[in-house]
């Protein structure tokens, strides 16, 4: 055994000796002869420098600078190449790190979404609503290979379901308002004045966005909840988060890594409405915790279009064969049977709702809890949304605004322009054409409808003015309303004017 280790030592010594000799001859030995030439360069220079003269020395220095420049350029070029290589390597490493971070964030987002869904299910279960996603649907989604698993599951759930609903004969808007009010009181214990119910139904005819605002605990969310129960299809409650800044918070986004679209409950509710024939209520709960004109901006713009065929939302650039049935070239059409209801608390923790949003919506203000009353027993009512639309259309034909009221409103417009430099605008006048007839058809009066629109559409804009310097003008406006419409005929507007004067 000792002989073998002696052999191994001798062999390794011989091998590394030969390797060292090889490296020496390749990299060092070639310079051994060149080294003697450096002395030769010096001898040549010493032989001729005495005869250089002025121009000789001039060109010698010039050549020396040029030679140094060439050497410097070569070294600089090597430096640039080396730096680019280092940056390239670093960039590739950064990309790898970025991929890892994105994957980690996607996982955290998925976990957070799961937690949010659990909280939402608890909240909706507490209110008596159906959970956002039951166990059967969750199991079905697991088997779906589409990049839209939730929407494809909706397709599978509704593809063989009959969603047609028969018209209810003899139904009027006034009867509908009374039935809903009695149902909310007798079945759910929610009490609303008949004025609030009329405003709600007339608002539904006027805009796809209803804002219920006021202090907390006055029944805003319960009104939206009761509306879904009354029409036999539960409202979808979507809690708005303070971090929402764009449309992806509402609709979701396509994940390039998983090749799946991260669908939200809002998107799923919107897609379900494409199958149903009844009214579908989607509630943006505490909608002003974030800026509405950021995350809901696309819907505000789309729903301004006259042609309902253009009410489409882009979801994905291209279509694939396994995508949901009701996606057309990656776009989803907003169905007409959808009503968006936003609840908004007025406190320091929320954002102010902008005029852009108010102008496009109908807002109802809640400043007190409903007073209990004896209500008739009322069962829920299942009617198609087409019947609601027909009732709204019939109301506009039957209860057109009188010319006398339009003339008075025009005079009021001129007064407000003169005193406060504010105009009603074409959008408000257009909303009047729908809201007032439908409000009258619900059992209200024309004057009350004008009072509501003037208060909620015009007087709200006064909050942006310097009220402290306009108290006399506000009092003049209150007196002018009495003169124009009769004393006490605009109670909402005059109450609002009094609060502006008092609070400023």
Per-residue model confidence as pLDDT tens digits over 122-147: 555 545 554 444 445 444 444 456 89
Taking CA atoms, 65 is separated from 58, 69, 70, 71, 421, in Å, by 11, 6, 9, 10, 78
Question: CB–CB of 485/408 below 8 Å?
Answer: yes
Name, in order, each residue with C-beta under 8 angstroms of 79's C-beta and a sequence gap of 6 or more.
none
pLDDT digits (tens, 9 = 90+) for 338-374: 999 999 987 777 888 888 899 999 999 987 777 888 9
CA–centroid distance for 279 within its chain: 23
398 is written with which tokens? 């039957």
Give the whole-angstrom CA distance, residue 359 versus residue 48: 95
* Cα angle: 43, vertex 46, 47; to 5 degrees: 85
Closest CA to 431 of 276, 199, 255: 199
pLDDT digits (tens, 9 = 90+) for 448-482: 999 999 999 999 888 878 888 888 999 999 999 99
Closest CA to 250 of 213, 293, 309: 293
Question: CB–CB of 132/150 below 8 Å?
Answer: no
DSSP E strands, 267-348: 280-285, 312-314, 327-328, 331-333, 338-345
Name, in order, each residue with C-beta under 8 angstroms of 377's C-beta and a sequence gap of 6 or more.
182, 186
Question: CB–CB of 355/461 below 8 Å?
Answer: yes
Q: Are strands 338-345 and 327-328 parallel, antiparallel or unpaired?
A: unpaired
185 is written with which tokens? 């009181």
Please tell me the predicted confidence (pLDDT) of residue 30: 64
Please tell me the predicted confidence (pLDDT) of residue 319: 86
Q: Which residues pair with 238 in a beta bridge?
A: 284
Give the whole-angstrom CA distance, residue 459 versus residue 439: 20
Please tell me the predicted confidence (pLDDT) of residue 337: 96
Eight-class DSSP state of 340: E
Name the more confident of 174 and 93: 174
- Of 124-133, 270-279, 388-397, the least confident: 124-133
211 — phi, psi (to 5°)?
Answer: -110, 125
Closest CA to 435 of 214, 213, 173: 173
Give the whole-angstrom CA distance, residue 11 versus residue 17: 10
338 is written with which tokens? 């959808």
DSSP E strands, 287-393: 312-314, 327-328, 331-333, 338-345, 362-366
237 is written with which tokens? 């409650």
Report the pLDDT averaged over residues 396-404: 93
Cβ burial, residue 287 (10 Å; 0-12/13-18/19+): buried
Name, in order, each residue with C-beta under 8 angstroms of 348's C-beta and a sequence gap of 6 or more.
none
CA atoms within 13 Å, Cβ hemisphere of 40: 5
Give the whole-angstrom CA distance, residue 123 versus residue 237: 9
What is the percentage of the chain residues whose pLDDT exceeds 90? 50
Judged by phi (left if over 0) then psi (alpha if -120 to 50, else beta), residue 421 lies in: left
CA–centroid distance for 227 within its chain: 24
Q: Would you say residue 155 has pLDDT above 90?
A: yes
Name, in order, each residue with C-beta under 8 angstroms of 111's C-beta and a sequence gap of 6 or more.
none
Q: At what angle do helices 173-183 and 194-206 cross, to 10 degrees?
A: 120
Closest CA to 173 of 504, 495, 394: 394
CA–centroid distance for 324 within its chain: 21
Give the whole-angstrom CA distance, residue 480 versus residue 475: 9
Please tell me the predicted confidence (pLDDT) of residue 503: 80
CA atoms within 13 Å, Cβ hemisphere of 63: 6
pLDDT confidence tier of residue 212, bands split at 50, 70 and 90? very high
Q: Is 106 helix (H, G, I), strand (E, B) or coil?
A: helix
Please tell me the predicted confidence (pLDDT) of residue 54: 72
pLDDT confidence tier of residue 274, bands split at 50, 70 and 90? very high
Closest CA to 339 of 439, 200, 240, 239: 200
Give the whole-angstrom CA distance, residue 24 versus residue 28: 5
What is the percentage of the chain residues whose pLDDT exceeds 70? 80
Q: Which CATH superfamily is domain 131-167+194-360 in?
A: P-loop containing nucleotide triphosphate hydrolases (3.40.50.300)
Q: Would you say residue 500 has pLDDT above 70?
A: yes
Cβ–Cβ contacts within 10 Å for residue 367, how many?
9
Eight-class DSSP state of 378: -
Report the pLDDT averaged over residues 205-234: 92
pLDDT confidence tier of residue 74, bands split at 50, 70 and 90? confident
Question: CB–CB of 263/324 below 8 Å?
Answer: no
pLDDT confidence tier of residue 117, bands split at 50, 70 and 90? low
Q: Would you say residue 38 has pLDDT above 80?
A: no
Q: Would you say residue 52 has pLDDT above 80?
A: no
Predicted structure pTM score: 0.72
């Amino acid at each position: 055994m000792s002989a073998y280790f002696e052999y191994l030592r001798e062999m390794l010594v011989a091998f590394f000796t030969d390797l060292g000799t090889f490296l020496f001859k390749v990299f060092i030995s070639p310079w051994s002869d060149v080294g003697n030439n450096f002395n030769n360069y010096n001898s040549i220079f010493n032989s001729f420098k005495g005869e250089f003269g002025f121009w000789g020395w001039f060109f010698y220095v010039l050549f020396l600078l040029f030679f140094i420049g060439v050497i410097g350029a070569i070294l600089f070029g090597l430096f640039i190449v080396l730096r680019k290589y280092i940056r390239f390597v670093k960039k590739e490493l950064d990309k790898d790190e970025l991929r890892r971070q994105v994957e980690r964030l996607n996982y955290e987002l998925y976990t957070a979404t799961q937690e949010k869904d659990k909280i939402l299910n608890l909240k909706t279960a507490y209110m008596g609503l159906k959970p956002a996603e039951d166990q059967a649907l969750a199991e079905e989604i697991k088997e779906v290979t589409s990049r839209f698993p939730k929407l494809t599951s909706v397709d599978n759930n509704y593809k063989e379901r009959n969603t047609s609903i028969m018209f209810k004969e003899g139904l009027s808007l006034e009867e509908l308002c009374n039935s809903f009010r009695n149902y909310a009181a007798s079945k759910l214990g929610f009490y609303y004045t008949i004025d609030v119910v009329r405003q709600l139904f007339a608002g539904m005819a006027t805009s796809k966005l209803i804002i219920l605002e006021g202090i907390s605990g006055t029944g805003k969310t319960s009104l939206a909840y009761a509306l879904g129960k009354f029409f036999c299809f539960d409202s979808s409650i979507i809690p708005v988060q303070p971090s929402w800044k764009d449309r992806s918070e509402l609709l979701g986004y396509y994940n390039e890594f998983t090749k799946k679209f991260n669908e939200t409950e809002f998107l799923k509710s919107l897609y379900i409405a494409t199958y149903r024939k009844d009214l579908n209520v989607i509630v943006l709960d505490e909608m002003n915790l974030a800026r509405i004109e950021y995350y809901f901006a696309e819907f505000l713009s789309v729903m301004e279009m006259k042609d309902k065929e253009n009410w489409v939302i882009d979801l994905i650039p291209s279509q694939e064969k396994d995508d949901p049935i009701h996606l057309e070239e990656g776009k989803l059409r907003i169905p007409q049977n959808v009503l968006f209801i936003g609840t908004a608390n007025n406190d320091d923790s929320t954002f102010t709702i902008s005029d852009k949003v108010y102008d496009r919506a109908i807002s109802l203000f809640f400043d007190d809890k409903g007073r209990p009353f004896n209500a008739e027993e009322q069962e829920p009512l299942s009617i198609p949304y087409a019947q609601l639309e027909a009732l709204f259309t019939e109301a506009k034909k039957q209860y057109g605004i009188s010319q006398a009221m339009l003339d008075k409103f025009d005079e009021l417009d001129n007064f407000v322009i003169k005193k406060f430099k504010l105009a009603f605008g074409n959008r408000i006048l257009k909303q009047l054409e729908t809201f007032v007839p439908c409000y009258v058809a619900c059992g209200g009066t024309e004057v009350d409808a004008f009072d509501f629109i003037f208060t909620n559409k015009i007087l709200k804009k006064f909050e942006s003015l310097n009220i402290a310097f306009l108290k006399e003008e506000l009092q003049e406006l209150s007196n002018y309303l009495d003169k124009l419409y009769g004393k006490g005929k605009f109670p909402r507007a005059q109450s609002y004017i009094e609060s502006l004067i008092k609070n400023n």
